[in-house]
Amino acid sequence: MKVEERGHTIVIKDTESNVQAFLEKVTSQHNSYKNHNLVLDISQDETVDITSLKLFTPLSKNHKKGKKSFVIVASAIDFNRVPASLLVVPTLLEAHDMIEMEEIERDLGF
């Protein structure tokens, strides 16, 4: 797991290609990330599918309660099948763009 802080956002990259273990680590350390926007980069793991992405739903809901963004970067999935409760994008650039859009929405009171 590689953690990188970029201003108001923390990017956590999965280095082990094990979604379940990665989710457990991030969940156990969530208190140290809860005041930042969070990007979870699992794009290197080719085994990620919709079922494994759904495992992140409770963590995503918990993080969003704090008025912070939660974005997952994943590749090689059918983005049309991703649940509406999760924000999943194919690249880090798009993740940062989504966070900026959500921050603007929060600033405007949406």
Does 110 have pLDDT greater than 90? no
The model's pLDDT over 59-97, given as tens digits with 9 standing for 90+, comes to: 999 999 999 999 999 988 999 999 999 999 999 999 999
pLDDT digits (tens, 9 = 90+) for 56-68: 999 999 999 999 9
What is the DSSP secondary-structure string of 61-104? HHHHTTT--EEEE--SS-GGGS-TTS-EESSHHHHHHHHHHHHH
Q: What is the pLDDT of residue 60?
A: 97
The pLDDT tens digits for 42-57 are: 999 989 999 999 999 9
Residue 64: which domain range?
A: 2-108
Question: What global pTM score does this model have?
Answer: 0.94
Per DSSP, the three-state class of 18 is coil
Q: Which residues of 54-66 are buried (b: 16+ CB within 10 A; e: fewer)?
A: eebeebbeebeee
Our count of domains for the chain comes to: 1
CATH code, domain with 7:
3.30.750.24
Q: Tokens for 43?
A: 């794009």
